[in-house]
Amino acid sequence: MVRRDTGGRIFQLTGRTRGASNGAPPTGKMVRGAKLAAVPVAFAGRRVAGVGKRALGRSAEEVNREIRARTAQHMFAVLGELKGCIAKLGQVLAIYEFVLPEDVAGPYREALGKLQDSAPAMLPAGVHQVLAEQLGPDWRSLFREFEDRRPAAASVGQVHRAVWHDGRAVAVKIMYPGARQAIHDDLQTLRRLSPLFGALLPGADARSVIDALCAYICEELDYELEARHQRAFAAAYADDPDFAVPDVVAQYPDVLVTEWLEGVSLSRIINRGAPFERDRVGLLILRFLFSGPTRAGLLYGDPHPGNFLVMPDGRLGVVDFGACAPWPPGFLDMISDIAPALFSCDPVALEAAIRRNGYITPGRTIDIDTAAAQLAPVRDAVIAPTIDLEPNWLRTHLATLTELRVTNVVRQMTMPSPHTTVARTCVAGLGLLGQLRTTLPLPKEFARWFPDVVEILEDVRIHRA
């Protein structure tokens, strides 16, 4: 996530703990680990206390709801305080704010708001040191100009504007010193939190999902991989009338230099854009997300306002390609298998399809009639000719799927960990389009880029008629 930072703080992810009074994250491995480890300890304490509350006459459902809410509040507050790698995971988890119950989403939103508004920055001396180490002591000869101040800050690095030696305006993305080791340490501790996610989603293989997310985060630290992703998108969308992807100029282990894009931020369109403008931009975002696997061979994994801008010629500019991935093997086959059963409202066929594709843990029973009924409103909204998205759309249509009730059978289902990357893009993309408050021809765009799946659904539609 890229944000402007007007502060002048140098940020080190390793070394002694600092910043207790100025909002900078604690950085010592033991301190960061202790803060994360405190979450499951507190969770265990709440469960013990819950036994006493039930003995005093409170219902088990009421006590469990309170435990989940307080645990979520504690967990997301810790994620927000630690920043760094944990900030990366917080950004991934931020997409789920749209589908959490309000009593959980409230503290979640507050912690993530602090997280996203407090990205620290390196001072010029630290920036120069990294550039000298990465590009060589005469690094300034590679630039005609280099802007030291007012960088765009990210959770594990920051971006400076500069002019390359050939006259091109460029963005220089610099990783914070020590980021890789700090993230490795954080991830080892983070994996211990997987039982807490299991408490919120009892049917999920939380450990596998967390492992998949951790692998995804680690890939975002690989600038060579990011450069390869960006080159693939830049080649696929070269001279496209609708999209602008900046070329990669140079790549070093901890520095990535790309062409600079100038345009209107998506945040401004969200806040001030006219309805027709928001609809047009929303359609371009949807089309870019759908077309990536076909045109570039990759799924764009980080759709949020900081990564899109509207160019002066009307094209949609796209930046930050660290979170890209190919389609998981067999993913479209899975959609082709499950979608007809869901569309036809056949509970027996639906249960067989989701079991075949790993969405029910072996040996777990499920009330498939109730599950099909809970999925139906979401299905109907998605297959309608157009979909009206606004900030409350996801919560309105997905509330029944995520309600923290023992009887909520959809929560007893799971997700194969390889599908996590697609889920992240889908939910984050819908959340972004909801912020735009846009009306979209979702089925038409889906048919354009995934005709094989649509052909199967058409066969089902004809057969039902």
H, E, C per residue of 151-168: CEECCCEEEEEEEECCCC
> Is residue 341 a contact partner of residue 353, using CB atoms and an 8 Å limit?
yes
pLDDT at residue 389 in the model: 87
Reply yes or no on whether the pLDDT at 39 is more than 70.
no
Reply yes or no on whether the pLDDT at 94 is more than 60.
no
pLDDT band at 462 (very low <50, low <70, confident <90, very high): low
Reduced to 3 states, what is the DSSP secondary structure of residue 262?
coil
User: Which residue blocks in 237-360 are alpha helix, DSSP H?
Assistant: 266-272, 275-295, 331-343, 347-356
Least confident range of 227-231, 378-382, 418-422, 461-465: 461-465
d(CA 190, CA 458) in angstroms, rounded, equals 44
pTM: 0.76
pLDDT band at 190 (very low <50, low <70, confident <90, very high): low
pLDDT at residue 162 in the model: 97
Reduced to 3 states, what is the DSSP secondary structure of residue 289?
helix
- Minimal CA–CA distance to 30: which of 214, 192, 189, 211? 189
pLDDT band at 248 (very low <50, low <70, confident <90, very high): very high
> Is residue 279 a contact partner of residue 261, using CB atoms and an 8 Å limit?
no
Least confident range of 22-31, 97-106, 172-181, 326-335: 22-31
Tokens of 196: 């807490």
- Minimal CA–CA distance to 290: which of 261, 334, 339, 327? 327
d(CA 369, CA 350) in angstroms, rounded, equals 9
pLDDT digits (tens, 9 = 90+) for 384-405: 899 998 777 766 666 566 565 5
pLDDT band at 58 (very low <50, low <70, confident <90, very high): low
Pairs from 130-135 (Cβ < 8 Å, separation ≥ 24):
130/174, 130/175, 130/177, 130/254, 130/255, 131/172, 131/174, 131/255, 133/254, 134/252, 134/253, 134/254, 134/255, 135/252, 135/255
Q: Where are the domains of the chain?
A: 9-118+185-205, 263-465
pLDDT at residue 149 in the model: 81
**Residue 300: beta bridge partners?**
324
H helix count then E strand count, the chain = 18, 15
d(CA 119, CA 260) in angstroms, rounded, equals 21
Least confident range of 65-79, 133-147, 157-171, 341-355: 65-79
Chain centroid to CA 421:
9
> Is residue 2 a contact partner of residue 152, using CB atoms and an 8 Å limit?
yes
pLDDT at residue 207 in the model: 67
pLDDT band at 158 (very low <50, low <70, confident <90, very high): confident
Average pLDDT, stretch 233-238?
Answer: 98
For 257, phi and psi rounded to 5 degrees?
Answer: -110, 120
pLDDT at residue 137 in the model: 96
Supply the mean pLDDT for the chain: 75
pLDDT at residue 51 in the model: 41
pLDDT band at 412 (very low <50, low <70, confident <90, very high): confident
Highest-pLDDT range among 47-51, 264-268, 406-410, 459-463 = 264-268
Count of alpha carbons within 13 angstroms of residue 284, beta-carbon side: 23
pLDDT at residue 342 in the model: 86
pLDDT at residue 277 in the model: 96
Reply yes or no on whether the pLDDT at 36 is more than 60.
no
